Amino acid sequence: MRDPDMHDMFGAFVQSLSWKGSVPSLLSSILQRLVACFPIASDEQNILNFLDEAKGKLGCPIVYQQDIRVVKTERQSTKEMHYFRDFNSSCVKEPQYFTFHEILKCGQAYNEGYTVALRGLEFRYQSISAIADTLALMFGQPSVGANLYLTPPNSQGLACHFDDHCVFVCQIFGSKQWTVYSPPSQLLPRLYDNLLGSVVDYTKAGRREFILREGDILYIPRGFPHKACTESGVGDGSPGFSLHLTLSIEVEPPFEWGGVAHFALHHWSENQKRLFYDGSNILSQKLVLVSVNLLHVAIGIISNLDPCFRKACLTAAVSLSPVVYESLFQSQRNTFFYLIDKICTESRFMEVISSIEVAVHKNEDPFQQIRWLWVFCMEKETNSEYNTNKSFTSEDILSLCAQHKDKLEALFLNVKSRFCSEVIFEEVVTSHRMLLQKYRSTRKQYINGMISLHDKL
């Protein structure tokens, strides 16, 4: 898609580059003013916690792999080559900071066919941050990432791969040829999924090819394998190199539909806790708490198999016309009750118990997928008389099941039935939007701080 307004959208950013036509000088001017942007935990809701962990590191030089990569892929190859091979060694554990010497060598690397990839532009440029924030609001997500890729003529940077996030590719200068393949699976990859070793035979997949020129935008959904390369001697007179920016929409666990289902169960159980827990029978209270947690495991099992649970929830999307919003909201409501129906019909007690047994055998946490929910509840539940999120180890759950299997199974079925029949979509949406605002607030504090730091350099 060619966007006639794209140059206006990125005009302030392009102007800030002060590019005089020399790529090495462009690289040097960009890299010399950058500092490291250390990652903040996705479920962090208190910026002070991050600042305490990062003290002493803020303002450090950029770090290889974290902030910058310099790579190329030979044609017909599936492996990336790093220019700074020592920095990419698996033996290196400490952050590899870029000195002025490495910055100068990036120009040499570019001349040798390497792509320079910069991460986290939303932390470094106010103009890019504003675009990313607008996009995040439009899709109802906490934040959107922005990366920059500079590729020399007749070169390929990254090897063919697929991402765990959706991207909008925005061509700033030059041109680039993209090949996008059919996805290898109907299941969308989740954010933070381990994609290493995900070998796909692209020769058997359907493909589409696109040539992006200045002002063009290409949308690539997560899970779609793709590669991109520049050509030399482009017939339309555009330069052989390419400068493009990607805007990454990362659907974090709380904001995919599976996360919404977990949040809905939490919200419902919070509203029911006085009915569930009268304080007179500690064992009964334990069993009810465990039943709720077992239903969380059941939701996790279903969401691993049903593609709908992995899609982004858009109930918090803004900047839409009233007609579009009303249509979208009704569509989201239908999706929500599709999930509830799946939970009602496919949550099986023994399957859940077997899943926990397998997790124990593998030394895995069956609740890892909803760690964000426990973090969210931690502070709120500290002084609560009715803690609906009391932590139980897998061994505790299996022990209670061994001693009270029939009673626990009956309670599980009762909790499932009541949740599926009593949950109210509009209440879940209202509460879920408050969670989104907590995430957005912390991200915004960090982004504003990093932009302010870069502005002072």
The pLDDT score that the predictor gives to residue 43 is: 87
- Cβ atoms of 246 and 216 within 8 Å: the answer is no
Residue 383's pLDDT band (cuts 50, 70, 90): very low
pLDDT exceeds cutoff 60 at 390: no
Q: Which pLDDT score, from 0 to 100, does residue 86 have?
A: 78
- At 385, the pLDDT band (50, 70, 90 cuts) reads very low
Q: What does the block give as tokens for 453?
A: 């730091």
If you average pLDDT over residues 251-265, what whole number do you get? 97
The model's confidence at residue 240, banded by pLDDT at 50, 70 and 90, is: confident
> Could you give the domains of the chain?
6-251+440-455 (2.60.120.650), 255-423 (no CATH)
Q: Is 90 exceeded by the pLDDT of residue 380? A: no
Residue with tokens 């580059």: 17
Count, residues in the chain: 457
pLDDT at 389 over 60: no
For 146, the token pair is 């922005």
Compute the average pLDDT of residues 186-204: 74
Tens digit of pLDDT for each residue in 111-163?
999 999 999 999 999 999 999 999 999 999 999 999 999 999 999 999 999 99
Query: Residues 20-44: pLDDT tens digits?
Result: 777 877 888 889 889 999 999 888 8
Say what the pLDDT of residue 192 is.
Answer: 82
Task: State yes or no: pLDDT of 281 exceeds 50.
Answer: yes
Model pTM greater than 0.75? yes
What confidence tier does 357 reach under pLDDT thresholds 50, 70, 90? very high
How many angstroms separate the CA atoms of 15 and 243, rounded? 14
Listed as own residue / partner, the contacts of 142-145 with beta carbons closer than 8 Å and 24 or more positions apart are 142/252, 142/255, 142/436, 142/439, 142/440, 142/443, 143/250, 143/439, 143/440, 143/443, 143/447, 144/247, 144/248, 144/249, 144/250, 145/119, 145/120, 145/247, 145/248, 145/250
Which ranges constitute the DSSP H helices of 4-125?
6-9, 11-17, 23-31, 47-54, 100-111
**Range in 3-7, 13-17, 437-441 the model is least confident about:** 3-7
Alpha carbon separation from 327 to 134, 308, 323, 330, 436 (Å, rounded):
21, 18, 6, 5, 22
Asked if residue 179 has pLDDT above 90, the reply is yes
